[in-house]
Structure 1
Amino acid sequence: FYKKFKKDLEQAEKAMPNIKVEGLPSDETCDKCKAPMIIKVGRFGMFLACSAYPDCENTRELETTEPSQDEEAENCENCGKPMVVKRGRFGQFLACSGYPDCKTTRKIIATKEGLSAAKPDQLLEEKCPKCESQLVIKQGRFGEFTACSSYPTCKYVKLKSTGVSCPKDGGDIVERKTRRNIPFFGCSNYPECDFTLWKRPLAEACPKCKREYLVEKTTKRHGRQVFCDNDECDYIRSEELAAV
């Protein structure tokens, strides 16, 4: 078996083209020098490269024919041309077919229903407190969030305020999430202030020990409970859950 296999292998090495070096022909032409583009294999998959290399080093993403997850085709919100699915270093994403004239891209995110295209960024009138650029509503893996439109130059992300002041430095206690999407609450002045809570704080002083805030938790057995997290205070009250 091996003798025949070795003979076939040697013949294949001589006859088969080296795709990594020679590439495969394509119908695309280079937009810089008009030479034919060839398909090559790189570290992150296949891509288009100019056949005139090294005189021309132009490369492009290889467009896939894989359809969008949506029933209707996605159109670019900036130029109106169809969006196409491409594969980059960090996975698939949507890009405008008008590239390089239009460089609009959109994430493809995983949801409970499967893969779907992220909504276009929604521009807000509110300004970024760090760089004065406009804030935008973005859609991420765990839902919508508000961030600076100048990302990645500015990485400001607006966090949801609880309306409660931090007992350590007077900062605003905001809602945060761990890497596993578990919510917790901490001071907006982090890392200068490391105050955190696992239960949602309420802007209500404890009537017993006068602590500046109360916290709440909801369980199947006891429903919604509001209590003081001061270890030396036993204040607690139960409240009925609002009908959905």
Structure 2
Amino acid sequence: MSDSDKALFTLHEHALEKEHEVCPECGEKLLIKNSKKGPFLGCSAYPGCQYTRPVVEHERIEDKVLAGSSCPECGHLLAVKQGRYGMFIGCTNFPECQHIEETHHQDDINIACPKCAKGELMEKTNRYGKTFYSCDQYPKCKYVLNYPPVAENCPLCQWPVLVKRKMASGEVIICPEKKCTYKRKAL
């Protein structure tokens, strides 16, 4: 390795550290530090100075107010906002009003919740993008299925819902109750 290459790869002469030299709060040097969430810039006078910032500044998309739309709960305008799970339509009167519009209308499942019998099962998506089915009476009812429900009673245990699963042998209809062993091939 040549002398010029060694200078590029020494830790104390890192190229990004030279770009961000001075702490705006105390005037000390900023250093690239690592945490479990990734690299960040922190003041070299830590713990005396607590200044930190991300290495890469993410652009914040401003909320765009939707003209002619009003919140059904409080009457304020609705706006397109950016959250940690992506874009959504919510009330401009947040945090007083926490109304969020449904962004995609999936086909109604129309299957009654087998646990509480008051609500219906709804298709939802978790923060990792996986689809699951839960009662619309949440948090009163916490019934959840990880596979698509089928509106049939189980012939063995009479549970009012079965689920459709993809197995190595093909699609099967099974009972979601742990104690029940009902299983048949899907048509």
Structure with the bigger RCO (C-alpha within 8 Å, sep 6+) is: 2
More strand by share: 1
State the TM-score, normalized to the length of structure 2.
0.48
